[in-house]
């Protein structure tokens, strides 16, 4: 914690009707970002004249402001005794079936319970370090709410070989996606560039800007239901949120997708909420990073995903 005490007007010139959070940014001489100051205020760690205050409170001449700024939590992953569903393991490669709801590596707001921490907590497991200290062994990633297969490199040689397969697109991934609506055709593709959403920083969007990157997704209808459909989806490129954005762009958002579906609705068509996002990394085909041998892996549908399909089948 970083403690502080200020008497307004004693050292800092304060314009009339100055917000408390803005005042503290200047009073702390820019050492602390406004976001951390807001966190301290929201947690009641800052008082004005002995009373907890909101970020929008106005400061006045003579106010006494006392508080402390919480320390930034370390992003470095730590070993944790968490279960890991191992599909395959050898001296170079680990294939894991990640559950929905688990973050792959530490990031904003997610420092514990990650797949990386679970891997570090496995006795005798070595991991590559080419991805940096926050991402040991991680060659690619899955979104938090996507379940299924993910490849982990156990040494740097394997990491380079796997990364090359992703770069050259010689590695094939197939997802199962439960989407809302019934696609008109049995198969199709979406070839639309993707870029950052112009207004919402957490989202990607179909874009024609110069900074947008090419993105190609192929799909095939596996089953049709009354209000939904189950698709086999093969992303040719590997952009952030690619499958989610592309399917939403053709009018078939993934069931339970809180970011890209207009409503968080189940596949049954009755307005009930879906228990999770209906996207699962189902199959993967690759050349072994050392021997070059062709390898194929498949992760069975999780129980909660299967229940969503069963609900879609029963819809009337």
Positions marked active-site: 143
Element (H, E) at 312: helix 303-314
Give the contacts of 58 (CB within 8 A, at least 6 positions apart): 17, 18, 19, 20
Cα 14 to chain centroid, rounded: 41
Task: Return the biggest CA–CA distance within the chain.
Answer: 75
CB 221 within 8 A of CB 183: yes
Burial bucket for residue 245 (CB in 10 Å: 0-12, 13-18, 19+): buried
Distance CA 240, CA 249 (A): 15
Is 148 in a helix, a strand, or coil? strand
Cα 174 to chain centroid, rounded: 19
Q: Give me the torsion for CA of 152, 154, 157, 162, rounded to 10°.
A: -10
C-alpha pair distances (Å), 180 with each of 172, 224, 244, 248, 270: 25, 10, 12, 9, 12
Q: Among 263, 268, 260, 313, which Cα is nearest to 146's?
A: 260
CB 148 within 8 A of CB 95: no
Residue pointed to by tokens 């968490």: 82
């Amino acid at each position: 914690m970083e403690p502080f005490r200020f008497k307004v007007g004693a050292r800092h010139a304060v314009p009339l009707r100055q917000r408390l959070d803005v005042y503290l940014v200047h009073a702390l001489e820019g050492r602390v970002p406004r976001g951390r100051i807001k966190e301290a205020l929201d947690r009641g760690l800052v008082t004005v004249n002995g009373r907890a205050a909101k970020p929008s409170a106005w400061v006045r001449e003579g106010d006494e402001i006392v508080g402390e700024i919480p320390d930034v939590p370390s992003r470095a992953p730590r070993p944790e005794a968490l279960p890991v569903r191992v599909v395959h393991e050898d001296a170079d490669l680990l294939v894991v079936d990640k559950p929905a709801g688990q973050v792959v590596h530490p990031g904003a707001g997610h420092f514990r319970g990650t797949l990386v921490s679970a891997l570090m907590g496995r006795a005798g497991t070595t991991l590559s370090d080419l991805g940096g200290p926050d991402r040991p062994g991680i060659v690619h990633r899955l979104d938090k709410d996507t379940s299924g297969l993910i490849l982990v490199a156990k040494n740097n040689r394997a990491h380079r070989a796997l990364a090359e397969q992703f770069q050259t697109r010689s590695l094939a991934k197939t997802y199962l996606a439960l989407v809302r609506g019934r696609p008109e055709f049995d198969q199709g593709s979406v070839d639309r560039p993707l870029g950052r959403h112009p207004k919402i920083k957490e989202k990607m969007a179909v874009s024609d800007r110069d900074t947008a990157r090419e993105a190609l997704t192929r799909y095939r209808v596996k089953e049709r239901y009354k209000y939904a459909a189950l698709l086999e989806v093969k992303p040719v490129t590997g952009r952030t949120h690619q499958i989610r954005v592309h399917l939403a762009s053709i009018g078939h958002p993934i069931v339970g997708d809180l970011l890209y579906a207009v409503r968080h609705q189940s596949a049954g068509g009755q307005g009930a909420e879906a228990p999770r996002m209906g996207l699962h990394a189902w199959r993967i085909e690759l050349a072994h990073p050392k021997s070059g041998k062709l390898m194929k892996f498949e992760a069975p549908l999780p129980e909660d995903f299967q229940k969503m399909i069963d609900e879609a089948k029963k819809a009337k």
